[in-house]
Structure 1
């Protein structure tokens, strides 16, 4: 019929499913959160760490080594926070390296942990093992073959120098170490953090 208006055509746009965490990713971040929270609960008071009255020059290398061992056992969480702070400041002062690390971390999150369907690129489907191999290769290239790796190593070495200097000059006689803490080891407070190999095994 002339002059009649055709009925409107409803256009349906394809909807993208939101990115959801896989069970392995949820388990990883859940255990990571619990481990970090448990570790922070073992943090010692910062005023106790910087008490100037407890600073004294060690008489020998053996005494300095013993102080480092005792102080690390007691202040290990504070020292790890200090190392993380030095590394963060170093990365923030080098935006390019920080941006590269963010891209790498985003690749791990969205291409491996949060991916629930096979990865398809250029009409080819990549298995979980292939994606894992690609991400490991990219990580090795970024960390060891660019300035990012040297920046991270330099920051960690500088932070370790600060920690060792403080631990060598901090007299530990006023510290009370129970048997459990003395036998805990360097990273015992991270016992709740999942092993990345378990997450890899869960996906593969």
Structure 2
């Protein structure tokens, strides 16, 4: 039977101390980013099905349903497409590509996928300060890296490719939204409530 001191030492290892170092914050943010990419990114077979993948929308409500379903289900895939098109537009200028990759990484690690507070020299850094520093760094990078026309075109092409996929991807046989399942009567809105017909 383990002693009380051993049990206390085992539980002390599982908790992080506050404040944690910036390197630990970055490490945990990278783990969160990897988990989000692995769980949210759909496979190519699902993204580009072989059996009748292209189907033009029949009406404006059909466009709305497709946008909601496809964007919600393939949002990580669309983000990867936009990032890849933006990176491809900067291939001719390696300095801009490295700068774009660095700024994007800072945003992902320090803002979007960060769970822990940041402490610098023992003082807590507010989320607003992190946001403002990242906005300033992005603006300076765009200002000093030269014309941003190539990057704008790359992002526009990525958004256009994603929009075409959203409109033409048939959603009827691929997945089912919970709200749509409730509205079509496939599942009950409240599983605890059972309606009895007499």
Shorter-chain-normalised TM-score: which range? 0.5 to 0.7
8 Å CA contact retained: 1:55, 1:171: yes
8 Å CA contact retained: 2:55, 2:170: yes
- 1:154-193 to structure 2, matched below 5 A, reads 154-179=153-178
Deviation readout 1:169-188 (Å, 9 max, x if unpaired): 111001223539x9xxxxxx
1:157 deviates by 1.5
Counterpart CA distance in 1 for 2:104 and 2:83 is 17
Match of 2:142 in 1: 143
TM-score normalised according to structure 1 size: 0.54
Match of 2:21 in 1: 23
Deviation readout 1:107-155 (Å, 9 max, x if unpaired): 999xxxxxx88xxxxxxxxxx9xxx888764531322565454333322
**Long gaps (5+) in structure 2:** 1-19, 110-119, 182-198
Match of 2:186 in 1: none
TM-score normalised according to structure 2 size: 0.55
Counterpart CA distance in 2 for 1:136 and 1:90 is 22
1:93 deviates by 3.2
Counterpart CA distance in 2 for 1:106 and 1:70 is 28
The number of residue pairs the alignment matches comes to 146
1:46 deviates by 0.8
User: Which of 34, 48, 51 is residue 50 of structure 1 equivalent to?
Assistant: 48
Distance change in 2, residues 1:148/1:27 (3 Å): farther
8 Å CA contact retained: 1:74, 1:177: no
- Give the superposed CA RMSD: 4.0
Match of 1:68 in 2: 67
Match of 1:77 in 2: 76
